[in-house]
Amino acid sequence: MINKIFFLYFAVAIVTLSLVIITRKSLVHSVISMLALFFHIAGLYLFLNSEFLALVQIIVYAGAILVLFLFVIMLLNIREDELKEQYASLWPLGVSIGVVFMIALLRMPAFILGSKGVWDIKAVTEATNTGAIGQILYTEYLLPFEVASIILLIAIIGAMVLAKKRFVK
Amino acid sequence: MVPLDWYLMLGSIVFCIGMIGFMIRRNIIMMFLSVELMLNGVNISLVAFSHYLQDLRGQILVFFIIAVAASEAAIGLAIVILITRNKNTIFIDEINELRG
């Protein structure tokens, strides 16, 4: 019962914050609401027995990506009083398409779950979520791990090459 | 014990709200924020599956999704800075020429 009350608080907060994010006129308000949303999602991950992912979510998403967004908003020098149009002209069509898709997703017939794996709660708690992810990531998923590091390297080099000022001689 | 369906419904609601935000806002930074919202909706579903199926592959996939989302946000925002430096606008309805 207490589980469901906690989950309902997180669910209502997440849905409310995401509605706030897409409807704010000011960009900084949206980014700060997104910060609160990421903390709630990290709390949900803690609820699902994955504390490593909760910390990675807070450090990477809330600590790096949102700060990047705020820096870009500062660099673009957007004057908030000059933001004239905030919604597309055909916004009822967009909202109705989204609502129809949401109803179609929520009314999906029940599916049959696959077979359960070996990492039940006791095994994950014994190896700690970080250790369990490490055991799998470095043995079975080593190639995607190295590819992800190359993706991050390309992102760093690309962002630096794209955004530097060209000095006109 | 919270049923798995509740987590999946929450993930799909967040995904659809992100999709609606992507379609109705014509501000390029708001569109990026909606894409991040969609990715987080998918992450919620994946971690819920990983918990209920007692398999860690969902969490590994979330790890990679977070890494790829970070690099995509970095490069996308660098491109946004370049475009708005030339065109002086952030509404994508006004960025409608292919040549800068």
pLDDT, one tens digit for every residue, chain A (169 residues): 888 999 999 999 999 999 999 998 888 999 999 999 999 999 999 999 899 999 999 999 999 999 999 999 988 877 766 666 677 778 889 899 999 999 988 887 767 777 777 777 787 788 888 888 998 899 999 999 999 999 999 999 998 888 777 766 5
Give chain B's mean pLDDT.
Answer: 89
pLDDT at A83 (0 to 100) = 65
Chain B residues in contact with A148 (beta carbon < 8 A): 64, 67-68
Domain total in chain B: 1
pLDDT at B46 (0 to 100) = 95
pLDDT at B91 (0 to 100) = 79
Domain CATH for B34:
1.10.287.3510
pLDDT at A35 (0 to 100) = 96
Q: Dihedral through CA A20, CA A24, CA A29, CA A33, nearest 10? A: 20
Quote the CA–CA distance of A44 and A83 in Å, as a whole number. 35
In a domain, A149, yes or no: yes
In a domain, A106, yes or no: no
Quote the CA–CA distance of A168 and B81 in Å, as a whole number. 19
Q: Is there a contact between B51 and A49 (Cβ–Cβ < 8 Å)?
A: yes
- Partner-chain residue, chosen from A76, A94, A144, that has the shortest CB–CB distance to B84: A76
Residue B100: pLDDT over 60:
no
In a domain, A14, yes or no: yes
Domain CATH for A128:
1.20.120.1200
In a domain, B97, yes or no: no
Chain B residues in contact with A151 (beta carbon < 8 A): 67-68, 71
* A67 in contact with chain B, both atoms CB, cutoff 8 A: no
Quote the CA–CA distance of B64 and B61 in Å, as a whole number. 5
pLDDT at A109 (0 to 100) = 72
Tell me the H-state helices in chain B: 4-24, 28-52, 57-87
Domain total in chain A: 1
Interhelix angle B57-87/A66-76, rounded to 10 degrees, is 0
- B83: closest CA among B27, B1, B42, B16? B27
- Partner-chain residue, chosen from B23, B55, B68, that has the shortest CB–CB distance to A97: B23
> Which residue from A minimizes the CA distance to B87?
A76
ipTM score assigned to the predicted complex: 0.91
In a domain, A9, yes or no: yes
pLDDT at A144 (0 to 100) = 94
Domain, as residue range, for B26: 4-87
User: What pLDDT digit, counting tens, does each position of B4-49 carry?
Assistant: 889 999 999 999 999 999 999 888 899 999 999 999 999 999 999 9
pLDDT at A58 (0 to 100) = 95
pLDDT at A82 (0 to 100) = 61
In a domain, A28, yes or no: yes
Domain, as residue range, for A51: 2-78+119-163
Chain B residues in contact with A57 (beta carbon < 8 A): 43, 66
Distance from CA of B39 to the nearest CA of A (A): 11
Which residues contact residue A14 at a Cβ distance below 8 angstroms, ignoring those fewer than 6 apart?
A: A37, A40, A41, A44, B10, B14
Residues 13-52 of B with CB under 8 A from A: 13-21, 23-27, 29-30, 32-34, 36-37, 40, 43-44, 47-48, 50-52
pLDDT at A85 (0 to 100) = 66
* A117 in contact with chain B, both atoms CB, cutoff 8 A: yes
